[in-house]
Structure 1
Amino acid sequence: MTCGVLAGASAVAGTAPAWADAPGGVPAAHSGTFAQDSDAAALMTAEAAERARKEVLGYAMTNPYAEVRMSAWNALRSDDPQAIEKWLAPDGGYAFARTRARSVRARNKAYIERVIRTHPASYSPVVRAAAEEALRGSFDEQAEFVRTGYAEAQKRDRAKRDASAQHKQKVAAAAREYVSRLAEEDPGEQVRTAARWALRPGATDDDIAEFYGYGWASGATLDLESHRSRIADEETLRHDKLTRLLRVAVAAEEAIKGAADAAQARANAERAWEAVAGHADAARKAWLAEQAAAETQSKNWRAIAEKAKTSADDLWKNIAGPAAATGDAWAKEQAGAVESAAFWQNMFDRAMEGQTRVKG
């Protein structure tokens, strides 16, 4: 992205302005000012490019979809200096990988991987073993697990628990009440859905126990994956738009140097930098909202982890590990949101400086 924008800026800068052939050449004061202006715009462009690359690295490491992670790594390893810019474009690598991730085969694999992450072998040994076997199997075997294998394995696990006095758990009123509260108040949509399913008409103590055993963790995983996927969708568009707006603003500012109508050229450049500032400010506000949401989730899950650690109810032991891991994951999302908000604040400040520069 940097090379693309800077190359465009250099091309404009290389065009001799009207006053270059005038007697005496460029006045020294003006020459220094223009050089500083170009440096400031180039630095902003470079910072935007570096941030875009960091975003892509984040997708390569944490995006819920394997197709997106692999595509992101390919962009990062590419020798093409514009690889990141192309990958973030609306019709680029991210969009293509995201489409592939929606395929039936990809969704089946993601589903199985999620089952493995959220079903502890201590509580759901049959499901866990069947999922691990399916993940190693063919596409047809994975599809079969999603269609019927998972439900069949669940039944076998439930039958084993029913036959075992050790696993037959009586659900206390307090545990059921906690699920009722989650169904209404939990910050995660998927956790609320899982809790409501456990409380549906006709549900038994087994359904509540299974919520604590794996349903809660499954909902939490879906909430985190949904958050990360949505963030990636939105931020790729923001960075692509920033690249295009910066390119226009840099070119408009360079055009002032040789403009026959300097006032009009300055007005054009001011509007261009104003567009960058508006885009950056909207992005900053969006990230402040994400920061608050991630903080709420992090605090929520850390409180759950603490309760699970101290509870005497055996039901809680299954959520202890997932709760701690989920709290840590949301804390990282919060830290990332703080960093992203700071980046967009910096872009806003630089764009406002650009507006001031071009006013003359």
Structure 2
Amino acid sequence: MFRARTRMPVLLIVPALVCGVTAGVLPAAAPAQAGESVTVAADQADRYRQMVRRLADRDPRWEVQSAAWSALKSDLPDAVTKFLSPGGGYEEARARAAKNASRNDLIISRTIATTTDKSSPIVHVTAVRASHGTLAEKDRYVRTGLKEAQDLDAKHSPIQQAKQQAQQDRDFVADLALNGSGPWVRAAAQRAVQLGTDADIAEFFKYAWISAADCDIQAYRMDVAEQQLRSRRQFDQLSVAAQQAQQAYEATSGAAKAKAAEEARTAWNTAAEVAAATRQQWQADEQLAQAQAKAWGMVHDFAIVASTQQDWPGIADKAATTGTAWTDELAWAQEQARQWTELAERTRANATAIPVVPTI
């Protein structure tokens, strides 16, 4: 029996914090030279573009993906920065996505409430299935899936009765309910175990497990997107404040020089602490993604030798795809941790470069 004992924190599907990015500049060694300033600005622009490209490629919300691509393709030189700024394109797209998701949830919940497995069996079962799905699955169901299910019910198309489920498969689902690779997978397995019929166990293997796996990675990607924007905004604000403090120190003379030097050092160190904390968060994300990739590798290895009536070849393929997705997330987290390590070191160096000025 495969046992995925990785414990994962619950990730929010719709993050509550509203975050963005200011157009601050990254720290350069003090005092900055003209050439260094150009390089720092180029580094910042490249990082922002990386962030928007990731949103365009990986964000689970089509509204965010579309808006991110528009920013990337724009001819305006500040389109990417404005997209990530407070009140910019990202926040607008996120709000649209939340509104659309709420509408879809309402339609699906009303469908469940107004149908039964006797009166409209296909509509009812597909609506329940969609209610636990990803944002994309819910959107597809509202756009086309509901009508398709209604048409099938109108033709009195029967639902095929599930075969008796093997005890080995029931034990497998019970194990996932306790030790599954992510919170959504565990929740899906727990529902199947609690309901307990052959149809519920069959539904888990055929639909719910796959959908829950996608929900886990969807939640992770949305969470790290918010984390990344929040950290960048805070760091850039502190970097601007530190540069201003250093300029004040450089322009000060006499008895006030020592105080100005201390204030500049403190400002740079504060920014460095934020960078170090952000690096630690990305290192935690590394561990989470690595554990998920390992867990899905174990699912794949189990599936290729399993012999019960489930579609194990299909499960093996899905496990391989999901494992690859988590391996990609691991690589992204590792790169972010590297970048924030570099930022923490550069910012701390700015603090130590300011000499201790003796008080007069």
Q: TM-score range by the shorter chain?
A: 0.7 to 0.9
* 1:16-31 matched pairs, under 5 angstroms: none
- Is 1:73 equivalent to 2:69 in the alignment? yes
Inter-partner Cα distance in structure 2 for 1:249 and 1:194: 48
The amino acid across from 1:310 in the alignment is V
Inter-partner Cα distance in structure 1 for 2:78 and 2:248: 24
Query: Larger Cα Rg: Structure 1 or Structure 2?
Result: 1
Shift of 1:216: 0.3
Aligned residue for 1:142? 142
Q: Deviations over 1:225-249 (max 9, x none)?
A: 0111111112111112222222222
**Residues 1:217 and 1:150: Cα distance change in structure 2 (over 3 Å):** farther
* 1:1-360 matched pairs, under 5 angstroms: 5=24, 34=31, 43-44=39-40, 46-104=42-100, 108=104, 142=142, 145=145, 159-162=158-161, 169-201=163-195, 203-260=196-253, 261-315=256-310, 316-359=312-355
CA contact (8 A) 1:182 1:191 kept: yes
SS for the counterpart of 1:257 is helix
Q: 272-281 or 311-320: which moved more?
A: 311-320
CA contact (8 A) 2:245 2:263 kept: yes
The amino acid across from 2:347 in the alignment is A
The amino acid across from 2:67 in the alignment is S
**Residues 1:140 and 1:196: Cα distance change in structure 2 (over 3 Å):** closer
Aligned residue for 2:9? none
Shift of 1:154: 9.9
Shift of 1:141: 8.7
Q: How many residues align?
A: 307
Q: 87-96 or 180-189: which moved more?
A: 87-96
The amino acid across from 1:258 in the alignment is A
SS for the counterpart of 1:102 is helix
Q: 320-329 or 248-257: which moved more?
A: 248-257
CA contact (8 A) 2:192 2:204 kept: yes
The amino acid across from 1:217 in the alignment is I
Identity across the alignment (%):
31
CA contact (8 A) 2:239 2:271 kept: yes
**Residues 1:49 and 1:266: Cα distance change in structure 2 (over 3 Å):** farther
**Residues 1:355 and 1:141: Cα distance change in structure 2 (over 3 Å):** closer
Shift of 1:142: 2.8
Inter-partner Cα distance in structure 2 for 1:169 and 1:317: 19
**Residues 1:35 and 1:190: Cα distance change in structure 2 (over 3 Å):** closer
Inter-partner Cα distance in structure 2 for 1:228 and 1:153: 35
Shift of 1:294: 0.7
Shift of 1:104: 3.1
What's the TM-score once normalised by structure 2's chain length? 0.74
Q: 245-254 or 281-290: which moved more?
A: 245-254
CA contact (8 A) 1:75 1:87 kept: yes
Inter-partner Cα distance in structure 1 for 2:329 and 2:267: 32
Q: Deviations over 1:289-334 (max 9, x none)?
A: 1110111111111111121122222312332222111111011111
The structure whose residues are more often helix, as a share, is: 1
Q: Deviations over 1:203-256 (max 9, x none)?
A: 311211111111100111111101111111121111122222222222322333
Gaps of 5+ in 1: 10-31, 113-123, 132-138, 163-167
CA contact (8 A) 2:22 2:86 kept: no
Inter-partner Cα distance in structure 1 for 2:207 and 2:257: 67
The amino acid across from 2:309 in the alignment is D
**Residues 1:43 and 1:252: Cα distance change in structure 2 (over 3 Å):** farther
The amino acid across from 2:220 in the alignment is H
What's the TM-score once normalised by structure 1's chain length? 0.74
CA contact (8 A) 2:21 2:232 kept: no
CA contact (8 A) 1:270 1:355 kept: yes
**Residues 1:177 and 1:2: Cα distance change in structure 2 (over 3 Å):** closer
Inter-partner Cα distance in structure 2 for 1:240 and 1:56: 14
Inter-partner Cα distance in structure 1 for 2:178 and 2:198: 19
The amino acid across from 2:178 in the alignment is E
Shift of 1:359: 3.0
Inter-partner Cα distance in structure 2 for 1:158 and 1:263: 83
Q: Deviations over 1:72-106 (max 9, x none)?
A: 12222334443333322332221111110011368
The amino acid across from 1:161 in the alignment is Q
The amino acid across from 1:301 in the alignment is W
**Residues 1:188 and 1:199: Cα distance change in structure 2 (over 3 Å):** same
Shift of 1:60: 0.7
